[in-house]
Amino acid sequence: MLDVSAIPAFDDNYIWLLRSPESGACAVVDPGDEDPVLERLAAERLDLGAILVTHKHRDHVGGVAALKARFPRARVLGPAGEPIPARDEAVQDGDEVVVPGLGVRFAILGVPGHTEGHVAYFGEGLLFCGDTLFAAGCGRVFSGTHEQLHASLQRLAALPADTVVYCAHEYTEANLGFAKWVEPDNVELICREAEVRHARSRGEPTVPSVIALERATNPFLRVAEPAVIAAAERWAGRPLQRGAEVFRALRRWKDRDYD
Ligand SMILES: [Zn+2]
Protein backbone atom coordinates (compact mmCIF):
# COMPACT_ATOMS: atom_id res chain seq x y z
CA MET A 1 0.00 0.00 0.00
CA LEU A 2 1.25 3.41 -0.98
CA ASP A 3 1.72 6.06 1.68
CA VAL A 4 0.96 9.62 0.49
CA SER A 5 1.71 12.80 2.42
CA ALA A 6 1.89 16.50 1.66
CA ILE A 7 5.01 18.64 1.56
CA PRO A 8 3.73 22.24 1.72
CA ALA A 9 5.52 24.71 -0.57
CA PHE A 10 5.22 28.44 -1.29
CA ASP A 11 1.97 29.92 0.07
CA ASP A 12 -0.53 27.26 -0.94
CA ASN A 13 1.10 24.50 -3.00
CA TYR A 14 1.24 20.86 -2.01
CA ILE A 15 4.05 18.67 -3.31
CA TRP A 16 2.85 15.08 -2.86
CA LEU A 17 5.30 12.56 -1.43
CA LEU A 18 4.57 8.94 -2.36
CA ARG A 19 6.41 6.18 -0.61
CA SER A 20 6.43 2.46 -0.26
CA PRO A 21 6.61 1.44 3.43
CA GLU A 22 8.29 -1.80 2.31
CA SER A 23 11.13 -0.56 0.10
CA GLY A 24 11.73 2.91 1.54
CA ALA A 25 11.65 4.22 -2.02
CA CYS A 26 9.73 7.39 -2.77
CA ALA A 27 8.55 9.71 -5.49
CA VAL A 28 7.32 13.29 -5.51
CA VAL A 29 4.67 14.97 -7.64
CA ASP A 30 5.16 18.51 -8.97
CA PRO A 31 8.13 19.74 -6.92
CA GLY A 32 7.92 23.48 -7.53
CA ASP A 33 10.62 24.05 -4.91
CA GLU A 34 13.46 21.68 -4.04
CA ASP A 35 14.15 22.94 -0.52
CA PRO A 36 11.16 21.54 1.39
CA VAL A 37 11.52 18.25 -0.51
CA LEU A 38 15.23 17.89 0.32
CA GLU A 39 14.45 18.69 3.94
CA ARG A 40 11.80 15.98 4.17
CA LEU A 41 13.89 13.38 2.32
CA ALA A 42 16.82 14.01 4.65
CA ALA A 43 14.69 13.93 7.78
CA GLU A 44 13.17 10.59 6.81
CA ARG A 45 16.28 9.17 5.07
CA LEU A 46 14.42 8.56 1.84
CA ASP A 47 15.88 7.84 -1.58
CA LEU A 48 14.11 9.64 -4.40
CA GLY A 49 13.24 7.22 -7.21
CA ALA A 50 10.97 9.31 -9.37
CA ILE A 51 9.60 12.79 -10.02
CA LEU A 52 6.15 12.97 -11.60
CA VAL A 53 5.19 16.24 -13.28
CA THR A 54 1.66 17.20 -14.36
CA HIS A 55 2.40 20.40 -16.28
CA LYS A 56 4.97 23.03 -17.11
CA HIS A 57 4.16 25.85 -14.68
CA ARG A 58 7.03 27.12 -12.59
CA ASP A 59 5.37 26.36 -9.24
CA HIS A 60 5.22 22.69 -10.33
CA VAL A 61 8.63 22.22 -11.97
CA GLY A 62 10.88 24.80 -10.26
CA GLY A 63 12.62 22.18 -8.10
CA VAL A 64 12.93 19.38 -10.67
CA ALA A 65 16.43 20.15 -11.98
CA ALA A 66 17.93 20.57 -8.51
CA LEU A 67 16.35 17.34 -7.25
CA LYS A 68 17.57 15.48 -10.34
CA ALA A 69 21.08 16.82 -9.74
CA ARG A 70 20.99 15.65 -6.13
CA PHE A 71 19.38 12.27 -6.99
CA PRO A 72 20.65 11.48 -10.51
CA ARG A 73 18.94 8.08 -10.52
CA ALA A 74 15.51 9.64 -9.96
CA ARG A 75 13.47 9.28 -13.13
CA VAL A 76 11.64 12.41 -14.28
CA LEU A 77 8.28 11.77 -15.94
CA GLY A 78 6.39 14.62 -17.53
CA PRO A 79 3.89 15.47 -20.24
CA ALA A 80 5.11 14.97 -23.79
CA GLY A 81 3.43 18.15 -24.99
CA GLU A 82 5.17 20.61 -22.66
CA PRO A 83 8.73 21.68 -21.86
CA ILE A 84 9.70 19.92 -18.60
CA PRO A 85 13.21 20.36 -17.16
CA ALA A 86 15.41 17.22 -16.93
CA ARG A 87 12.61 15.01 -18.26
CA ASP A 88 13.66 11.37 -18.81
CA GLU A 89 10.33 10.02 -19.99
CA ALA A 90 7.65 11.87 -21.94
CA VAL A 91 4.17 10.58 -21.06
CA GLN A 92 0.85 11.10 -22.76
CA ASP A 93 -2.76 10.02 -22.67
CA GLY A 94 -3.13 6.25 -22.83
CA ASP A 95 0.34 5.46 -21.46
CA GLU A 96 0.88 3.32 -18.40
CA VAL A 97 3.89 3.83 -16.21
CA VAL A 98 5.34 1.85 -13.33
CA VAL A 99 6.87 4.28 -10.86
CA PRO A 100 10.48 3.26 -10.23
CA GLY A 101 11.04 1.90 -6.72
CA LEU A 102 7.37 2.04 -5.78
CA GLY A 103 6.10 -0.66 -8.09
CA VAL A 104 2.77 1.13 -8.54
CA ARG A 105 1.23 1.42 -11.94
CA PHE A 106 -0.34 4.69 -13.04
CA ALA A 107 -2.43 5.34 -16.11
CA ILE A 108 -1.66 8.65 -17.78
CA LEU A 109 -4.74 10.76 -18.47
CA GLY A 110 -4.39 13.64 -20.89
CA VAL A 111 -6.31 16.48 -19.22
CA PRO A 112 -5.59 19.65 -21.24
CA GLY A 113 -7.27 22.98 -20.56
CA HIS A 114 -5.32 24.67 -17.75
CA THR A 115 -2.33 24.15 -20.04
CA GLU A 116 -2.22 22.56 -23.47
CA GLY A 117 -0.42 19.35 -22.44
CA HIS A 118 -1.45 18.82 -18.81
CA VAL A 119 -1.53 15.17 -17.68
CA ALA A 120 -2.86 13.41 -14.57
CA TYR A 121 -1.60 10.21 -12.94
CA PHE A 122 -4.26 7.70 -11.93
CA GLY A 123 -3.84 4.34 -10.21
CA GLU A 124 -4.38 2.44 -6.94
CA GLY A 125 -7.54 4.50 -6.46
CA LEU A 126 -5.49 7.70 -6.38
CA LEU A 127 -5.52 10.66 -8.76
CA PHE A 128 -2.77 13.26 -9.00
CA CYS A 129 -4.31 15.96 -11.14
CA GLY A 130 -2.11 19.05 -10.70
CA ASP A 131 -4.06 22.22 -11.53
CA THR A 132 -6.92 20.61 -13.47
CA LEU A 133 -9.41 19.64 -10.76
CA PHE A 134 -9.23 21.38 -7.38
CA ALA A 135 -11.26 20.64 -4.28
CA ALA A 136 -14.53 22.47 -5.05
CA GLY A 137 -13.00 24.21 -8.05
CA CYS A 138 -10.77 23.89 -11.11
CA GLY A 139 -7.73 25.49 -12.64
CA ARG A 140 -7.89 28.63 -14.74
CA VAL A 141 -7.62 28.39 -18.50
CA PHE A 142 -4.09 29.53 -19.38
CA SER A 143 -2.66 27.89 -22.49
CA GLY A 144 -5.49 25.45 -23.23
CA THR A 145 -9.15 26.15 -24.00
CA HIS A 146 -12.38 26.17 -22.03
CA GLU A 147 -13.67 23.30 -24.17
CA GLN A 148 -10.60 21.23 -23.33
CA LEU A 149 -10.84 21.92 -19.60
CA HIS A 150 -14.54 21.10 -19.56
CA ALA A 151 -13.91 17.77 -21.32
CA SER A 152 -10.99 16.97 -19.00
CA LEU A 153 -13.08 17.66 -15.89
CA GLN A 154 -15.93 15.53 -17.17
CA ARG A 155 -13.45 12.74 -17.71
CA LEU A 156 -12.14 13.02 -14.16
CA ALA A 157 -15.69 13.19 -12.78
CA ALA A 158 -16.37 9.83 -14.42
CA LEU A 159 -13.61 8.08 -12.45
CA PRO A 160 -14.78 5.73 -9.66
CA ALA A 161 -16.63 7.61 -6.92
CA ASP A 162 -14.11 6.63 -4.22
CA THR A 163 -11.07 7.89 -6.16
CA VAL A 164 -8.93 10.02 -3.85
CA VAL A 165 -8.09 13.34 -5.47
CA TYR A 166 -4.71 14.92 -4.79
CA CYS A 167 -4.68 18.38 -6.31
CA ALA A 168 -1.76 20.77 -6.08
CA HIS A 169 -3.16 23.75 -4.15
CA GLU A 170 -4.99 24.61 -0.94
CA TYR A 171 -7.74 26.70 -2.54
CA THR A 172 -10.75 24.90 -1.10
CA GLU A 173 -12.16 27.56 1.22
CA ALA A 174 -12.18 30.26 -1.45
CA ASN A 175 -13.50 27.80 -4.02
CA LEU A 176 -16.43 26.96 -1.77
CA GLY A 177 -17.26 30.66 -1.48
CA PHE A 178 -17.77 30.80 -5.24
CA ALA A 179 -19.57 27.44 -5.30
CA LYS A 180 -22.12 28.92 -2.90
CA TRP A 181 -22.72 31.86 -5.24
CA VAL A 182 -23.67 29.27 -7.86
CA GLU A 183 -25.64 26.87 -5.65
CA PRO A 184 -26.64 28.59 -2.40
CA ASP A 185 -29.15 25.86 -1.59
CA ASN A 186 -26.87 22.84 -2.08
CA VAL A 187 -26.96 21.16 1.33
CA GLU A 188 -23.84 19.06 0.77
CA LEU A 189 -22.01 22.22 -0.19
CA ILE A 190 -23.09 23.96 2.99
CA CYS A 191 -21.92 20.99 5.08
CA ARG A 192 -18.61 20.86 3.24
CA GLU A 193 -18.00 24.54 3.84
CA ALA A 194 -18.47 24.08 7.59
CA GLU A 195 -16.03 21.16 7.64
CA VAL A 196 -13.46 23.03 5.56
CA ARG A 197 -13.65 26.15 7.76
CA HIS A 198 -13.11 24.00 10.81
CA ALA A 199 -10.12 22.25 9.24
CA ARG A 200 -8.54 25.54 8.12
CA SER A 201 -9.06 27.16 11.52
CA ARG A 202 -6.88 24.38 12.90
CA GLY A 203 -4.33 24.77 10.10
CA GLU A 204 -5.18 21.38 8.60
CA PRO A 205 -5.16 20.65 4.86
CA THR A 206 -8.51 20.17 3.11
CA VAL A 207 -7.07 17.88 0.47
CA PRO A 208 -7.13 15.12 -0.62
CA SER A 209 -10.75 15.08 -1.67
CA VAL A 210 -12.77 12.27 -3.27
CA ILE A 211 -14.56 12.20 -6.61
CA ALA A 212 -17.97 11.57 -5.02
CA LEU A 213 -17.68 14.76 -2.96
CA GLU A 214 -16.54 16.75 -6.01
CA ARG A 215 -19.49 15.49 -8.03
CA ALA A 216 -21.81 16.65 -5.24
CA THR A 217 -20.29 20.06 -4.53
CA ASN A 218 -17.96 21.25 -7.31
CA PRO A 219 -19.89 23.57 -9.67
CA PHE A 220 -17.41 22.98 -12.50
CA LEU A 221 -18.37 19.29 -12.55
CA ARG A 222 -22.06 20.06 -12.14
CA VAL A 223 -22.74 21.91 -15.38
CA ALA A 224 -25.70 19.61 -16.19
CA GLU A 225 -27.51 20.48 -12.93
CA PRO A 226 -30.55 22.71 -13.48
CA ALA A 227 -29.57 25.03 -10.60
CA VAL A 228 -26.06 25.46 -12.00
CA ILE A 229 -27.31 26.11 -15.53
CA ALA A 230 -29.80 28.67 -14.20
CA ALA A 231 -27.11 30.49 -12.21
CA ALA A 232 -24.72 30.54 -15.18
CA GLU A 233 -27.47 31.86 -17.47
CA ARG A 234 -28.34 34.59 -14.98
CA TRP A 235 -24.73 35.72 -14.91
CA ALA A 236 -24.35 35.52 -18.69
CA GLY A 237 -27.72 37.24 -19.25
CA ARG A 238 -28.71 34.80 -21.98
CA PRO A 239 -29.55 31.13 -22.55
CA LEU A 240 -26.50 28.88 -22.72
CA GLN A 241 -25.91 25.64 -24.53
CA ARG A 242 -25.50 22.73 -22.16
CA GLY A 243 -22.05 21.50 -21.26
CA ALA A 244 -19.05 23.48 -22.43
CA GLU A 245 -20.90 26.78 -22.72
CA VAL A 246 -22.21 26.59 -19.15
CA PHE A 247 -18.70 25.65 -18.03
CA ARG A 248 -17.17 28.63 -19.85
CA ALA A 249 -19.65 31.00 -18.24
CA LEU A 250 -18.88 29.66 -14.76
CA ARG A 251 -15.13 29.90 -15.29
CA ARG A 252 -15.41 33.49 -16.59
CA TRP A 253 -17.77 34.45 -13.78
CA LYS A 254 -15.26 33.25 -11.20
CA ASP A 255 -12.30 34.88 -13.00
CA ARG A 256 -13.98 38.27 -13.42
CA ASP A 257 -16.18 38.71 -10.40
CA TYR A 258 -14.91 36.45 -7.65
CA ASP A 259 -11.12 36.10 -7.65
ZN1 LIG B 1 -0.56 25.55 -13.21
Question: Of the residues 30, 33, 118, 131, which is catalytic?
Answer: 131
- CA 115 to ligand 1 center in whole angstroms: 7
Is residue 120 scored above 80 in pLDDT?
yes
**According to the model, what pLDDT value does residue 21 have?**
81
71-95 pLDDT, tens digit per residue, is 999 999 999 999 999 999 999 999 9
Note the pTM of the prediction, 2 decimals. Answer: 0.97
pLDDT in tens, 33-50: 999 999 999 999 999 999
60 annotated active-site: yes
Strand partners, 47: 25
Neighbours of ion ligand 1 (CB under 5 A): 57, 131
Q: Catalytic annotation on 59?
A: yes
pLDDT digits (tens, 9 = 90+) for 176-224: 999 999 999 999 999 999 999 999 999 999 999 999 999 999 999 999 9
Q: Pick the range with the lowest mean pLDDT from 12-26, 86-100, 122-136, 236-250.
A: 12-26
Residue 187 CA to ligand 1 center (angstroms) comes to 30
Respond yes or no: is residue 150 known to be catalytic.
no
Q: How far is the CA of 114 from the centre of ligand 1 (A)?
A: 7
Is residue 100's pLDDT more than 90?
no
